[in-house]
Every structure is written in C-alpha cells, then in structure tokens.
C-alpha cells in the first residue's frame, strides 16, 4: 500500500496527463517506436472480432524496426519469439501475405497497433497484434484514465499507477 501511495503522490506531483489526444498518440508511436501508419484496409479481419468496433478505427500502425522491437521485448517474450521462429523455419508452407504477417508477429518481427476513438479526439480502445508488455503498458497509459476514479482504493487507478511505474514515468 505504501508503494501505491508513493506512486499516487508522484503521479499528482509530476502532473502526468490523464488523457492524450490522437495526435499525441500518433506522435508518441512514431517517435518512440518508429511506428509507420498503414491503411485500415489491412485489418479487414478485425471486422470479425467482437472486441473491435471497426467503424471507430481511426489509425493503424505497424512497428517493424528490428532495433526498436529487440529493445522492448522481455526475456520471456524473446524466448517465445525464438521458439516460434524455430517452429516456422522447420515448417514447409507457402506464405500468403496475411499468413506471413502472422508469422512475423509471432516471430517478433512485427507489432500492429490499431487505434479506436469514440469521440474523434482521444483513444477509446486499441488492438495490439504482437506481444510486448512495455508497449501494452504505454498504450494503456496513452488511452488515459477517468479523473473521477483517480484515488487510492480504486483498482483501475492502482493498476494504471503500476503501469506508469513499470515504464519509468514515476521514477
């Protein structure tokens, strides 16, 4: 509990924003992760995903810079990618573009990020295709948090503080 109290104090002292504009999300992904904007049409399969509101997708990105990707994966994520790469090397199959994309995601050579917005101003949801705890935490942070729930004892707020701490914003 003392740790949460410290993080709460730091969050308030540092005046970390509680919400981010779509432009700020775009700048963040492009500058920190060298994300590249891609057409929404590349993610038509998300129309079948009940957790995605395809009509509210406002931006799509791919992150495929090898140095960036290697720097954001945990040891266990790197091991999973290595295992996947070994499995796929030993498989003999013809790759269509969609299947190749999934092989690249599983192998740690690609992460896709799809951003939704309810209001056209801020991110309301996101889909991440690929595995990176660090990027996941940062996307949750960029999604923001309702100021009304920013108090100790609220589980969502405490989780948000934990993510801020894990990515180094509360140091």
Query: Residues 129, 111: contact at Cβ < 8 Å?
Result: yes
Rounded CA separation 14/170 (Å): 8
Q: Tokens for 65, please give them.
A: 């810079």
Q: Strands of 36-37's sheet, edge to edge? A: 36-37, 57-63, 111-116, 125-129
Which long-range contacts (C-beta less than 8 Å, at least 24 apart) are formed by 96-103?
98/45
Q: What is the pLDDT of residues 23-69, one digit of tens each?
A: 999 999 999 999 999 999 999 989 999 999 999 999 999 999 999 99
Q: What pLDDT shows up at residue 99?
A: 76
- Which residues fall within 8 angstroms of residue 149, CB to CB, at 6 or more apart? 156, 157
In this structure, are residues 55 and 157 in contact, taking their beta carbons and an 8 Å threshold? no
Question: Rounded CA gap, 44 and 26, in Å?
Answer: 21
Per-residue pLDDT of 62-117, as tens digits, reads 999 999 999 999 898 888 878 776 666 545 555 667 778 888 888 899 999 999 99
CA-to-CA distance for 6 and 8, rounded, in angstroms? Answer: 5
Tell me the Cα Rg of the chain. Answer: 18
| Predicted local distance difference test score (pLDDT) of residue 87 | 65
């Amino acid at each position: 509990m003392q740790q949460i109290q410290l993080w709460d104090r730091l969050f308030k002292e540092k005046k970390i924003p509680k919400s981010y504009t779509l432009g700020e999300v775009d700048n963040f992904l492009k500058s920190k992760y060298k994300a590249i904007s891609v057409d929404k049409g590349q993610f038509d399969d998300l129309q079948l995903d009940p957790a995605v509101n395809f009509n509210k997708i406002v931006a799509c990105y791919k992150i495929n810079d090898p140095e960036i990707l290697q720097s954001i994966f945990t040891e266990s994520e790197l091991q999973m990618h290595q295992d996947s790469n070994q499995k796929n090397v030993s498989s003999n199959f013809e790759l269509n573009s969609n299947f190749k994309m999934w092989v690249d995601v599983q192998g740690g050579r690609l992460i896709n990020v799809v951003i939704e917005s309810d209001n056209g101003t801020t991110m309301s949801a996101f889909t991440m295709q690929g595995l990176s705890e660090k990027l996941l935490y940062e996307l949750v942070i960029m999604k923001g948090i309702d100021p009304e729930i920013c108090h100790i004892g609220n589980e969502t707020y405490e989780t948000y503080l934990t993510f801020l701490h894990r990515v180094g914003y509360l140091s």
